[in-house]
Amino acid sequence: MNPANLIPALQSHALAHEIERQLKNETSAAIATAESDARAIIAPARADARGRVHTAIMELRREGASRLARATAQRETEQRARAQRLAAQAVGDALPLLREELEARWRDQQNRRQWTDAVARLCVLRLRPGAWRIEHPPDWSEPEQRDFAATIGERDGVEISFKADSDLKSGLRIKADQAVFDATPQGLLADGRTIAAMILDDLEQE
């Protein structure tokens, strides 16, 4: 190559490199500016998106908590209703058995004596002096009647009489003026609420 032509060629090559460098710098600056602009645009959008996601999550949590509370309340209501049904069934099943057991105890002489002695003591505590009529099953013997009177003892103003009642199979019914002390199985089980509470208490203890 002619040395005279070499200098323009070198100058042209240097100029090309300079132009290429400037283009790269401008391109990098443009890319950086674009990325900065993009971040500036995206940042608020991301913030808004995070806010909406947070709101949606909180709403889902509140709805979930509300559904859980409703489900828990419904379950507790159902459990209480079931417990009440079971309790009512238990009481309903137990009452006939209690009545049968009382009648069986009356048929046993030793248990019947404990029963009548307890009734005699309660008469002294609960009834006013006066004419006491002791209504009893027809098969309650005269010796047992004398034992009953002896348990009551001599009481001022108390006059005791005995009357067999064919409708009575077990227990005693004492009438004193306007008062009635019903110690038959039917009378002893008449207070349904108290008896039910006793049955349920026994079941809980078991």
The pLDDT of residue 33 is 66
The pLDDT of residue 69 is 81
Give the CATH fold of the 108-190 domain.
hypothetical protein PF0899 fold (3.30.2320)
Residue stretches of the chain with pLDDT short of 70: 1-20, 23-49, 53, 87, 206
pLDDT tens-digit readout, 7-30: 555 556 666 666 667 766 666 665
Spell out the domain ranges in the chain. 1-83, 108-190
The pLDDT of residue 75 is 84
pLDDT tens-digit readout, 85-111: 776 777 777 788 888 888 999 999 999
The pLDDT of residue 13 is 63
The pLDDT of residue 99 is 85
The pLDDT of residue 92 is 73
The pLDDT of residue 133 is 96
The pLDDT of residue 195 is 79
The pLDDT of residue 163 is 96
DSSP secondary structure, the chain, as one string: --HHHHHHHHHHHHHHHHHHHHHHHHHHHHHHHHHHHHHHHHHHHHHHHHHHHHHHHHHHHHHHHHHHHHHHHHHHHHHHHHHHHHHHHHHHHHHHHHHHHHHHHHHSHHHHHHHHHHHHHHHHHHSPSSEEEEEE-TT--HHHHHHHHHHH---TT-EEEEEE-TT-SSSEEEEETTEEEEESHHHHT--HHHHHHHHHHHHHH-
